[in-house]
Structure 1
């Protein structure tokens, strides 16, 4: 039974006896002997025994029938989903040969006296490729690229940017090999010039070439203060890094690009220089999920009859990229049995099985007696005495896997040349399995949709059921994306745009993200994994009407930058007020938890400057909001449009806070 039968009646014999005695005191006060030796009390206890049984059965029937009805219409408890994060493996020292970390490597949190360790496993193989700096080039915003490798080899001071640095000037570093997914250390010897930049906030962006475009690198550490002194820069290179040709040299190219400085951010008045430079690989990053892989688990021996059931040893079964496959030893090898949703269309020759991920129960096809007395097999029957095993499955999942940043720091097994491991970002996406009460609520909605998607609400309901780790889903008509000069927002999937299609729908999926203490969300955290989108599209493809065009993708994110000036109340610290005001802005213009109702910014809702006035005026310590300006921005390139009082959003767009700026005027 997939849905467990709950204990619905909590009334027992003693409660009925006590209730009867209270009524005796009210209705018959002359009856004063309530001891068990009294004949009247004996009768009360006898009737309480019979009433206890009757009430128990009477109250149990409706709910039991309700759960049985849910089981008949195909309602199953959803299993937990596994949290995901990126795990970075740091080497003890640079190695001359690639260091390989195999898929399935286990890492965990620290085990305490009260809590067991939370175990994550890597999803794919990781190769930490060694590298060295082989080329250096510069490319001003208005000019041609120049190879500076010889000047660097002679120990000369190589200017990183043009004589008068302007946004777009870039310094290019060529590595001996591409280093996808690796942590690279750049050792730079820069002259201490003090070229006007704030060493704590240099307007620089490190990027790597992925074959199609320049992708931002995450900066772990920058000791150079923006090329102001000798030090190290540690970069986390994207997993798509590939080789390319620049200044007639083939290498794994990285670049440092000068950005447009913010109004309160100093910029370069002269170009910094590099005298010596070197590079090596010190680690690598790979995806990890809160699950453990079980391989070739034997379930038992077949009895050679229809309707057999087996149980995996470690439920629940967490969905993964590999399909759940059962194998039966027939003849010289193992034959594969395919998982299906039901046996409704299975013939006696189909090797089909069903799996309940929540309980881990594996069922083979049953036999149903027809009206003429014959038995009809729904699926093949494994021969008697043959071993049955599961090729591989993953177990784990749940909210317990949503660990904080840096919590995964224990290697469950020793790895050569690996000194430590850590997760640089919190794990997200872990959801507990569905409860019976949740299934009771979902039952009427399932009966209405009948597992078919016809209207937009059906698509959204089926998507929430299949992907409970998604923060938001919305179904909108297929249409065009609005793009005016590339400064309105950002597509996150690279999908082709086109005119609206008759009968076409677009399902927008927003993954779960976690903001920092100021309410900021990394733009990369709002991009659903391609595997999740593909599985969801396959699930809905089987349930859409014939002829309907379906597209499952992320929304269009409209970047919004707020530039505001406020006056503080008497006695209010400016720095503290600035932090509070920025937190309020990032919290209100939040695609997950913002908006007027705090349930996430509504799809297609425009942004008005008047809302900014209202949000800032409610911040404690703000006496007056003097000025507010809105700028449309591209979260990917950082390009900002013209100031406006209203930013329109299409029906498939969400707002994204991008680098708000707040000035607190001194009293």
Structure 2
């Protein structure tokens, strides 16, 4: 079986002729006779024939030659990128001293039949799990002064934590001895008098941490108090920005529990809950982990003392998004470190430089180039003959295998005292496979056209995708004509996987990480035009809630409901929704009639009795009045927010 021939350039004879004639119109407009009888056109066709034959032969070269051509153009295959996730490290018991997890602490998924089935992750930074306790408790009504309740708490009184008739904005504050960034805090409360009127399964409360300038919202785990209704404890995940500040005359690390406005249909407090006893202690910490494994002391071989030597690694690829690999060469004075550089263009004869192909894991030492006068010029130092070469440390991993599901990371591979268990509350994301040669063939013309400069909107989008391969969608909005000098906005949508398996995304999954935004900003800032102002951010997400009432036989009620909900979540999806199934188009309005058609196609001949559509805020959860059309700005996308489908049963004749 013959190997498929590459297609380096798909232009043919007639296309070459047409391109040449267009250049003639641009460069020599006085040449107006383009008929085949014109001698100049005869020359154009002659050269087009020769180029066509050259392209035919060029398209017969093997992939190895194509890779060499790409390297001559400065184009290399992109290595895989590593997935990342937030992992909680749970203490076996509250500790009196700080527990420190060093950077590089490894955790894995549970292995299958063989150990090789486990996916290894490592912490990206050092984590300090700081002990805590309650030193102050304040109540802060929406309108009025704060009150220190610490003394009353010590006396065992029942303390109302909000106003007698609670209002949105009422809060109770807990002061800790110091800030506890990235720690998991348990707030244990003894509530003897229940807050009247609230649903314990859905209390209108939010927990927040003070970062020195504003209150940051905290994620909460289990809440056995049912919204401060009964004795129990609340697990609070404190964000990284937590700072100690002076509030109410006391400098402390402050947390607060605040009443928020109830959503439509959500019960609200009619009386304040009370607290008789309160305690705070640290039960764990949270740190970002990456699908990467650190490999140490890997021998590469012995130097021959010549320029341009190459040494492959046994375990590629090499991850370059963190600390670079450490390459060392033996010498009489011990091991000498050689710097990993992007290219040898600025390397002098004495510079100990080395390049690495991250995809193949091949390390290259500097070459010697022949100058026009025949002399040789070294583009870097050469390891002496017989010197041993090793990679003392590098990181490997990456790829889609790291995109594990929520709760999959459950094994602590490194030995850390006092850590009992680990888990990830969110699915890992960002793992992308290394670039294929076919993709590089498509990318090469774009790279040559851009010349590493961001000029057009398309240039900005291409560079953004290259800087962060795990980005799902990118949209560049140039500065508006009515605002000269305004910023160029680059909107970034990360890839996400629905936890339910039915297109139900959570809002936080669609917000790109700070690391992703920083990588894109850095890449664009190096290539932008002078005077261009850049803003790299997520798009505006317009929440849409659809409430539908359908009529179906009782035996089919559950199936019809599930089918209708799946159709709504699939269609109103920023990643793969919309009419074409490739993601909701930026700025496209949502219309009542379109949703009616989506539901009707999904449920078939089932009667759709009523559909109502609401604009909703996915952050606050508020929604407006029913509308027939929701308009979106040019940089906005839709987000499905809490669709509701009610199916009423009918008898065999279709009567209710």
TM range (shorter): 0.7 to 0.9
Alignment of 1:36-185 (within 5 A): 61=61, 66-113=66-113, 116-185=117-186
Alpha-carbon distance in structure 1 between the residues aligned to 2:58 and 2:73: 24
Q: Indicate the SS of the match to 2:173.
A: strand
Change (3 A) 1:628 1:642: closer
Contact 1:509 1:552 in 2 (8 A): no
Deviation for aligned residue 1:387: 4.6
- 2:524: which partner in 1? 540
- 2:472: which partner in 1? 471
Alpha-carbon distance in structure 2 between the residues aligned to 1:188 and 1:350: 64
Contact 1:617 1:625 in 2 (8 A): no
Deviation for aligned residue 1:97: 0.8
Q: Indicate the SS of the match to 1:184.
A: strand
Contact 1:205 1:216 in 2 (8 A): yes
Change (3 A) 1:334 1:454: farther
Deviation for aligned residue 1:652: 2.7
Deviation for aligned residue 1:632: 4.7
Deviation for aligned residue 1:337: 4.0
1:624 aligned to 608, 613, 617, which one? 608
- Higher deviation after alignment, 622-631 or 184-193: 622-631
Alpha-carbon distance in structure 2 between the residues aligned to 1:515 and 1:59: 42
2:498 aligned to 512, 515, 522, which one? 515
- 2:459: which partner in 1? 458
Alpha-carbon distance in structure 1 between the residues aligned to 2:151 and 2:437: 71
Alpha-carbon distance in structure 1 between the residues aligned to 2:112 and 2:177: 44
- 1:210: which partner in 2? 211
Deviations 1:596-619 (A, max 9, x none): 222222222233344444444445
Q: Indicate the SS of the match to 1:381.
A: coil
Change (3 A) 1:560 1:199: same
Change (3 A) 1:153 1:561: farther
- Higher deviation after alignment, 523-532 or 132-141: 523-532
Q: Indicate the SS of the match to 2:354.
A: strand
Alpha-carbon distance in structure 1 between the residues aligned to 2:245 and 2:647: 46
Deviations 1:179-226 (A, max 9, x none): 211111111111254612221111211121222222222221111111
Alpha-carbon distance in structure 2 between the residues aligned to 1:81 and 1:537: 18
- Higher deviation after alignment, 149-158 or 94-103: 149-158
2:554 aligned to 559, 571, 574, which one? 571
Q: Indicate the SS of the match to 1:409.
A: strand
Alpha-carbon distance in structure 2 between the residues aligned to 1:396 and 1:64: 25
Alignment of 1:573-652 (within 5 A): 580-620=563-603, 623-633=607-617, 635-638=618-621, 644-652=627-635
Change (3 A) 1:367 1:264: same
Deviation for aligned residue 1:579: 5.4
Contact 1:321 1:531 in 2 (8 A): no
Change (3 A) 1:438 1:641: same
Alpha-carbon distance in structure 2 between the residues aligned to 1:402 and 1:324: 24
Deviation for aligned residue 1:141: 2.0
Alpha-carbon distance in structure 2 between the residues aligned to 1:203 and 1:358: 50
Deviations 1:574-612 (A, max 9, x none): 777655544443333322222222222222223334444
Q: Indicate the SS of the match to 1:284.
A: strand
Alpha-carbon distance in structure 1 between the residues aligned to 2:296 and 2:640: 44
Change (3 A) 1:211 1:333: farther
Change (3 A) 1:398 1:101: same
Deviation for aligned residue 1:253: 1.5
Alpha-carbon distance in structure 1 between the residues aligned to 2:591 and 2:334: 67
Alpha-carbon distance in structure 1 between the residues aligned to 2:333 and 2:620: 59
Unaligned runs of 5+ in 1: 1-5, 11-56, 481-497
1:557 aligned to 540, 544, 566, which one? 540
Contact 2:616 2:641 in 1 (8 A): no
Contact 1:299 1:310 in 2 (8 A): yes
Deviation for aligned residue 1:170: 1.6
Change (3 A) 1:614 1:260: farther
Check if 1:373 corresponds to 2:357. Answer: no
Contact 1:200 1:225 in 2 (8 A): yes
Alpha-carbon distance in structure 2 between the residues aligned to 1:187 and 1:161: 18
Deviation for aligned residue 1:391: 5.6
Q: Indicate the SS of the match to 1:553.
A: strand
Alpha-carbon distance in structure 1 between the residues aligned to 2:402 and 2:470: 12
Q: Indicate the SS of the match to 1:262.
A: coil
Output the TM-score relative to the length of structure 1.
0.81
Deviation for aligned residue 1:346: 3.8
Give aligned pairs, total.
Answer: 596
- 1:50: which partner in 2? none
Deviations 1:148-178 (A, max 9, x none): 2222221111112211122222222222322
Alpha-carbon distance in structure 2 between the residues aligned to 1:347 and 1:429: 38
Alpha-carbon distance in structure 2 between the residues aligned to 1:643 and 1:168: 27
Q: Indicate the SS of the match to 2:169.
A: coil
Check if 1:527 corresponds to 2:511. Answer: yes
Change (3 A) 1:551 1:572: farther
Alpha-carbon distance in structure 2 between the residues aligned to 1:419 and 1:240: 26
Contact 1:453 1:544 in 2 (8 A): yes
Check if 1:8 corresponds to 2:9. Answer: no
Deviation for aligned residue 1:89: 1.0
Change (3 A) 1:395 1:474: same
Contact 2:545 2:616 in 1 (8 A): no
Contact 1:8 1:60 in 2 (8 A): no
- 1:322: which partner in 2? 323
Change (3 A) 1:572 1:202: farther
- 2:290: which partner in 1? 289
Deviation for aligned residue 1:623: 2.5
Q: Indicate the SS of the match to 1:472.
A: strand
Deviation for aligned residue 1:287: 0.5
